[in-house]
Amino acid sequence: MTSGELLLEVEHLQTGYGDLKVVRDVSLTVRRGEITVLLGRNGAGKTTTLRAITGLNKTYGGEVRYLGAKLGEVPAHRRVARGMSYVQEGKRVFHELTIEQNLLLGGFSTRLKKRALLEAVSEIYEFFPILGDKRALPAASMSGGQQQMLAIGQALMAKPQLLILDEPSQGLAPSIVKEVMERVHALKAMGLGILLVEQAVQESLEISDEVSVVDMGRTILAGPASTISLDQLQDAYFGVGTAS
């Protein structure tokens, strides 16, 4: 695996729900060992874009390529098997199950034998020590930030090359947002490619390599994070149309 290798290419994506086209022209890339952050106001089409990339929404036009291969009509579960994991917004974990049971379910698609699966769980505990400390407790007993770490841990159990995160800081206190972002940055250092949707603009810019801003379902600003100023982002957020 080579750092900088192109994992995901999205070109002129069009998608939506039924006859409603929400995303009209979105393009972005994600490379191995890098973070691409997708920014935009509420209703701009960010989550809909992620759902199309992961196979949960039908693509009406444009292309999604993963490791150079067109995904087309490849179903969501096969995209997971190819190394693409998606953490949806809202800390979606199984609240009645223990932390360890949640993680074991996250590794189901790998078809690993029990010993290898438990070794994978141990790796998650090393990365998120709080999960190991509370492994026997139900997920419902954890704080919002801890549940978000569990949701990320579940996704990592599938051994992805590309990790897609939809607003992991949503509803979290500022100190916890910082901790979550530090963990996301550490995943980048481990060689994963990460596509991050966030409302915490400043915090996400600090850890990202590439930035793509969408408004009304279209990419309106894109480039290396180091070259995009806060003034440009402010213009993109407030100077282009009205969010749908």
Write out the chain's pLDDT in tens, 244 residues: 566 899 999 999 999 998 899 999 999 999 999 999 999 988 999 999 999 999 999 999 999 999 999 999 899 999 999 999 999 987 789 999 999 999 999 887 777 788 889 999 999 999 999 999 999 999 999 998 899 999 999 999 999 999 999 999 888 888 888 888 999 999 999 999 999 999 888 889 999 999 999 999 999 999 999 999 888 888 887 765 433 3
Same domain as 36, residue 4:
yes
Residue 173's pLDDT is: 86
Residue 114's pLDDT is: 85
Give the residue among 108, 196, 209, 214 at the shortest CA–CA distance from 148.
Answer: 196
Same domain as 98, residue 131:
yes
> Residue 101 CB: number of other CB atoms within 10 A?
15
Q: How far is CA 213 from the centre of its chain?
A: 15
Distance CA 35, CA 208 (A): 5
Same domain as 71, residue 187:
yes
CB 169 within 8 A of CB 198: yes
- Structural domain including 152 reads 92-159
Residue 1's pLDDT is: 56
Same domain as 128, residue 117:
yes
Domain boundary among 120, 136, 159: 159
Residue 41: CB partners within 8 Å, gap ≥ 6? 215, 237, 243
Residue 236's pLDDT is: 83
Residue 115 Cα distances to 48, 112, 121, angstroms: 37, 8, 10
Widest distance between CA atoms in the chain: 55
- Give the CATH number, domain containing residue 192: 3.40.50.300
What b-and-e string marks burial along 151-176, b requiring 16 or more CB atoms within 10 Å of the CB?
A: bbbbbbbbebbbbbbbbbbbebeeeb
Same domain as 170, residue 200:
yes
Distance CA 152, CA 23 (A): 26
Same domain as 193, residue 129:
no
